[in-house]
A and B are shown apart, each in its own frame.
Chain A
Amino acid sequence: MTDDTLGWMSVPLAIVAGTFRGSAPFLFVSLGECLTEKAGKINLGLEGTLLTGAMTAYAVSYLTKSPWLGVLAAGLAGVGLGLIHAWLSQRPRVSDVAVGIAMIIFGSGIAFFFGKAFIQPKAIPLPVFELGNWSSYPQVQDALKISPLLLIGIVIAPVMQWFFSSTRWGLYVRAVGDSPSAARAMGISVVGVRTGAIVAGSFLAGIGGASLSLYYPGLWSERISSGQGLMAVALVIFARWQPIHCLWAALLFGGAQAIGPSLQAVGISSYRYLFNAAPYIMTLIITIATCSPRRTLSGSPGALGTNE
């Protein structure tokens, strides 16, 4: 079977395949950013966390021959970086945006420094679920090789939604993010809750990194994250700080990323970069359209972007 037998059908199929392959990092990193922002802080450093997670997962999977240990180690690496961000960004008069940018440099420094040795060797990738065996088309079979991490992410999204809406701790996070002074009056430790949210968010972003290096593209290189961690910030706005919408947004962004390459496969190569930028343009337009000078975005945590 070649592309010819599928003809133009190969384009939507390639987009579906790209959506399944490319969404997992977006999903994890945006859920992590969502949790962090709900608590009222921004973590731009998740780009560095994603890189460190990807490198750690790849290295540990290579050294221990167990990809799942790699995933765990990636999460723990995220916890380490998250602790630094949580501590620094909550010091008086320190901007969380500036800390985030410094953490991108620091995180990518760590990842590239220790990752140098792992560019050549081949680590054991994560096993995949092959859901496409009913089809005789190899393209369909390929498209439906689903990463277990994507499935885990798909489960986490509604759980996090429930966590925010129906649990005591979810309420604490929202209170801290909306009005730290009110939360303090309720007797909630603002620093404690924010630290927890930032560290847990970083853990998720680390796992997002693992899905890059252990599933797709399934190797470690310095260009692997290509801004996906920073994009999570946009994605969370797009999702209006709702974890369940993060899921749809991650699928949409993952799919949008696949449009360019899949059109290229059928010979349309010009303007593929503009297709790649489509999610950013879309997010920008939606943000402009839905903001108003008198109020911030609906759904936005009240203390976000203030230095409270």
Chain B
Amino acid sequence: MNLRDRWRSTSENILIPIGAVLASLVVFGIFCAVQGKNPIAIYGTIYQSAFGNSFSWQGTLIRAAPLMLTSLCTALPAMLGLTIIGNEGALIVGGLGAIAMGLALSSLPPIMVQIAMAMAGLIAGGLWIMFVGAIKYYRGVNETISSLLMNYIAIAVLNTLVEGPMRDPSSLNKPSSFPLAAVNMLQSIPNSRVHYGLIYGLVACAIAYFLIHRTTFGFAVRTVGGNIRAAKIAGLPVGKLTLIVTFLGGSCAGLAGMVEIAAIHGSANASLNADYGYSGILVAFIARQNPLVAVLVAVLMGGILASGSALQRSFGLPDATVLLFQGIVFLAILFSESLYGRLDFFKDREPEVKIDASATVV
């Protein structure tokens, strides 16, 4: 690929998503105008409350942290050609594992508790999604559907545990588990209200990118994703790769559960089921399964989520406005997927035509 082609493909990768976001801004703007609200003012508020100052940036980053982690639960298995949507379930069991560990070991030094909680989250979430990978490989069960079903099973397990065996009798209106000791909570980064979960998310995305794009393991995984039959002929251990990659994906979502429990909620309860899992799926798709791009998309999405209450306060719009905005942005970006490689603007014309002509003569 020469420099010019590379420039074209890079500009395509940048301009198409930007175009999609602009298109969705126009559509949502028209919608707001029809509702009698000034779209420019609304966008100003969204921007202000998401990225306007350091306080709003912090709120955005707090929401972006779990999204980075849950998006990997879809992005990593996608390298193998698997469409996993069990992120929510993996997040919940990861959170449950973490709180169980945090409560059981509460007498140890905080750093040990932290590590044990993170490990418990990783392992619980990892095994949860590895089960999906296992039944896909050994029984041929569709991974999209089995992981979807397992989300509901995880929610039921969460509700059963926090209302039964794990319940703190003093939590009356909202059944919760016993709370974590304050010293064992995930601390904030100095001089901010952003917790260290953000670092977990950034590191996980960086590792995932390195693993997939810079190692032999990643190459093997991408080969299986590209053509499973060729991979088998080449002697790649498809089953083993499936188990490892689904475990890694699930463990990231499980870690997101640990982060939410240890940094935000402090105990397990129904709030753990806050749709970060489902949003993570979209982050992964929008980032086109690239873990580094997922970081950016997660921040953008965290910003949109963070602006919800401001829209309600300033414009008297329902808080669902943000949901609607999110939906429009996603649909526009998904549509833009189909434009890659099809717009004349990004095509290199002269050399290709000549090669085609000589090929037909031969």
Do B149 and A284 touch across chains, with their CB atoms under 8 A apart?
Answer: yes
Do B281 and A294 touch across chains, with their CB atoms under 8 A apart?
Answer: no
Segment among B50-58, B176-184, B323-331 that sits at the interface with chain A = B323-331
B348 proximal to A (CB < 8 A): no
For residue A136, give the distance in angstroms from its CB to the closest CB of chain B: 37
Specify the chain A residue showing the minimal Cβ separation from B158: A273
Chain B residues closer than 8 Å to A108, beta-carbon distance: 320, 323, 327
Q: Please report the C-alpha to C-alpha distance between residue A94 and residue B282 in the assembled complex, in whole angstroms.
A: 13
Do A284 and B153 touch across chains, with their CB atoms under 8 A apart?
Answer: yes
Partner of B160 from A110, A111, A274 at Cβ < 8 Å: A274
Do B324 and A283 touch across chains, with their CB atoms under 8 A apart?
Answer: no
Do B137 and A293 touch across chains, with their CB atoms under 8 A apart?
Answer: yes
Chain A residues closer than 8 Å to B152, beta-carbon distance: 227, 231, 277, 280
Chain B residues closer than 8 Å to A283, beta-carbon distance: 149
Q: Please report the C-alpha to C-alpha distance between residue A237 and residue B148 in the assembled complex, in whole angstroms.
A: 13
B48 proximal to A (CB < 8 A): no
Chain B residues closer than 8 Å to A280, beta-carbon distance: 149-150, 152-153, 156
A97 proximal to B (CB < 8 A): yes
For residue A166, give the distance in angstroms from its CB to the closest CB of chain B: 29
For residue A211, give the distance in angstroms from its CB to the closest CB of chain B: 21
For residue B27, give the distance in angstroms from its CB to the closest CB of chain A: 11
Interface of A is mostly: helix
Known: A98-B334, A281-B153. A234 touches B140 (CB 8 A): no
Chain A residues closer than 8 Å to B148, beta-carbon distance: 44, 230, 233-234
Known: A113-B318, A230-B148, A237-B145. A270 touches B164 (CB 8 A): yes
Do A91 and B83 touch across chains, with their CB atoms under 8 A apart?
Answer: no
Do B160 and A271 touch across chains, with their CB atoms under 8 A apart?
Answer: yes
- A241-270 CB mask vs B (1 if < 8 Å, else 0) is 000000000000000000000000000001
Do A273 and B144 touch across chains, with their CB atoms under 8 A apart?
Answer: no
Q: Please report the C-alpha to C-alpha distance between residue A97 and residue B149 in the assembled complex, in whole angstroms.
A: 15
Specify the chain B residue showing the minimal Cβ separation from A108: B323
Do A102 and B146 touch across chains, with their CB atoms under 8 A apart?
Answer: no
A12 proximal to B (CB < 8 A): no
- A269-296 CB mask vs B (1 if < 8 Å, else 0) is 0110110110011011001100111111
Q: Please report the C-alpha to C-alpha distance between residue A284 and residue B131 in the assembled complex, in whole angstroms.
A: 12
Do B320 and A287 touch across chains, with their CB atoms under 8 A apart?
Answer: no
Known: A97-B83, A110-B324, A230-B148. A91 touches B335 (CB 8 A): yes
Partner of A101 from B282, B323, B338 at Cβ < 8 Å: B282
B141 proximal to A (CB < 8 A): yes
A131 proximal to B (CB < 8 A): no
Chain A residues closer than 8 Å to B282, beta-carbon distance: 98, 101-102, 105
Q: Please report the C-alpha to C-alpha distance between residue A54 and residue B80 in the assembled complex, in whole angstroms.
A: 38
Within 8 A of B (CB), among A100-123: 101-113, 116
For residue A222, give the distance in angstroms from its CB to the closest CB of chain B: 8
Chain B residues closer than 8 Å to A109, beta-carbon distance: 320-321, 323-327
For residue A74, give the distance in angstroms from its CB to the closest CB of chain B: 18
For residue B87, give the distance in angstroms from its CB to the closest CB of chain A: 10
Do A106 and B324 touch across chains, with their CB atoms under 8 A apart?
Answer: yes
Q: Please report the C-alpha to C-alpha distance between residue A237 and residue B144 in the assembled complex, in whole angstroms.
A: 12
Do A291 and B338 touch across chains, with their CB atoms under 8 A apart?
Answer: no
Chain B residues closer than 8 Å to A233, beta-carbon distance: 145, 148
A99 proximal to B (CB < 8 A): yes
For residue A269, give the distance in angstroms from its CB to the closest CB of chain B: 8
Q: Please report the C-alpha to C-alpha distance between residue A95 and residue B331 in the assembled complex, in whole angstroms.
A: 11
A-B CB contact pairs (8 Å), 12 listed: A44-B148, A88-B334, A91-B337, A94-B334, A94-B337, A98-B281, A227-B152, A234-B149, A237-B145, A273-B160, A273-B163, A296-B140
A-B CB proximity, top 10 nearest = A106-B327, A112-B320, A109-B324, A277-B156, A91-B338, A109-B323, A102-B330, A273-B159, A116-B318, A105-B327
Using a CB–CB distance below 8 Å, which chain B residues touch chain A?
83, 85, 135, 137-142, 144-146, 148-150, 152-153, 155-157, 159-160, 163-164, 278, 281-282, 285, 318-321, 323-328, 330-331, 334-335, 337-338, 340, 342
Given contacts A103-B327, A270-B163, 12 further A-B contacts (CB under 8 A): A98-B282, A106-B327, A108-B320, A108-B327, A111-B320, A112-B320, A273-B155, A277-B157, A284-B146, A287-B141, A287-B142, A291-B140
